[in-house]
């Protein structure tokens, strides 16, 4: 970071922009290589999936995979970071996905989409859609780890924060696109989803400081006269399609008690329940924790309980009815 340059804008805690147009990311720039994780025994490797855009992915497989012929659930994971920071190689994300894979016994593909400001939105959404197109390709089905261990008929999208937001939009796009005939989603796991709106709701009303902070994040990444009511960030704003026809069998929404985004996640769940059709809705609230707490402490007891709930969700436990719990 260059302290001698004049700062034009700082979007805490993500990025500092200078008057000459350069910028420094304030977090999420560290790198962890793929390989065998000695603690969880989960293996990972990087593959290039969209050469024209340089989009790669990190594939994870649990230790049990090589010892069994049973095919495992296939998860496409989208990391968070407000569309500004983090990659598939960010050490905290890498550690949390090792933990998730070990607990869920699933094959996970973590997608490395392009970020703001180098690549303005909707580049991240386009890259995530390209990842779904790749999943439907013969190339993906012939990739050795996926060919040998992944059950393409048990396909889930899972993401945290901005990644959960993109999972919603991907499922809505599948509803209307021919790709939806080839890519069938069993479910979506949304971890502290990044949805927002201009008019405050719930805790946002009592916390205008944090409301303004999140407002600034979105206005930085999305140039729109609708601000927080742009359909990309507010699925229930005027002109947004809502959740009707979401192209998946079920949705698990996970929020944290102290997260300023909590009430938006709860609203999303409630809208699914009100819809009364399509995707079955499940809800989990983590007591005493804030946004993406599991990234910072993936081995903690509450993170483990969350991973277990995701594992149960992907295993198909339950009768399809709406479920809520606090943990």
Q: What is the dihedral of CA 210, 213, 219, 220, to 10 degrees?
A: -150
DSSP code, position 224 = -
Which of 94, 149, 168, 291 is labelled catalytic? 291
Question: What is the C-alpha separation between 46 and 33, in angstroms, rounded?
Answer: 9
Quick count: other Cβ atoms within 10 Å of Cβ 266?
A: 17
Is 112 an annotated catalytic residue?
A: no
First-to-last alpha carbon distance for the chain, in angstroms, is 40
Which of 96, 161, 167, 256 is labelled catalytic? 161
What is the Cα Rg of the chain in Å? 19
189, β-bridge pairs: 158, 252
The H-or-E segment that residue 125 falls in is helix 123-135
Question: What is the C-alpha separation between 78 and 93, in angstroms, rounded?
Answer: 10
Is 149 an annotated catalytic residue?
A: no
Provide the token pair at 16: 């500092």
Which of 167, 259, 263, 294 is labelled catalytic? 259
Question: In which residue are the tokens 């707490």 written?
Answer: 293
254, β-bridge pairs: 191, 284
Asked if residue 88 lies in contact with residue 46, where contact means CB atoms within 8 angstroms, the answer is yes
DSSP code, position 6 = P
Kindly write down the DSSP assignment for every residue of 24-37, as one continuous string: EESSS------SB-
Is 56 an annotated catalytic residue?
A: no
Q: Greatest CA separation found in the chain?
A: 60
Helices (H), 3-80: none
Q: Which residues are catalytic?
A: 161, 259, 291
């Amino acid at each position: 970071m260059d302290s001698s340059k004049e700062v034009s804008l700082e979007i805490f805690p993500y990025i500092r922009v200078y008057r000459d147009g350069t910028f420094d990311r304030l977090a999420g720039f560290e790198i962890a290589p793929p390989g065998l994780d000695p603690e969880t025994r989960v293996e990972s490797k990087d593959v290039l999936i969209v050469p024209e855009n340089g989009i790669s992915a990190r594939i994870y497989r649990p230790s049990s995979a090589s010892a069994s012929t049973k095919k495992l659930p296939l998860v496409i994971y989208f990391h968070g970071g407000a569309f500004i920071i983090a990659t598939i190689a960010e050490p905290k994300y890498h550690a949390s996905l090792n933990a998730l894979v070990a607990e869920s016994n699933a094959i996970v593909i973590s997608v490395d989409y392009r970020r703001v400001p180098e690549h303005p939105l909707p580049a991240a959404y386009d890259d995530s859609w390209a990842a779904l197109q790749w999943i439907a390709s013969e190339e993906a089905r012939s990739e050795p780890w996926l060919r040998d261990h992944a059950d393409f008929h048990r396909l889930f999208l899972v993401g945290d924060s901005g990644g959960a937001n993109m999972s919603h939009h991907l499922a809505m796009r599948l509803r209307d696109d021919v790709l939806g005939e080839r890519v069938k989603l069993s479910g979506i796991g949304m971890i502290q989803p990044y949805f927002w709106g201009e008019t405050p709701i719930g805790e946002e009303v009592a916390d205008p400081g944090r409301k303004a902070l999140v407002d600034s994040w979105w206005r930085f990444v999305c140039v729109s006269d609708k601000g927080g009511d742009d359909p990309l960030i507010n699925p229930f704003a005027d002109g947004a399609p809502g959740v009707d026809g979401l192209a998946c069998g079920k949705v698990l929404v996970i929020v944290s008690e102290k997260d300023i985004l909590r009430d938006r996640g709860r609203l999303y769940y409630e809208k699914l329940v009100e819809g009364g059709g399509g995707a079955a809705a499940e809800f989990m609230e983590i007591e005493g924790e804030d946004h993406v707490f599991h990234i910072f402490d993936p081995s903690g007891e509450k993170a483990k309980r969350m991973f277990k709930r995701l594992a149960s969700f992907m295993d198909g436990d339950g009768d399809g009815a709406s479920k809520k719990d606090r943990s």
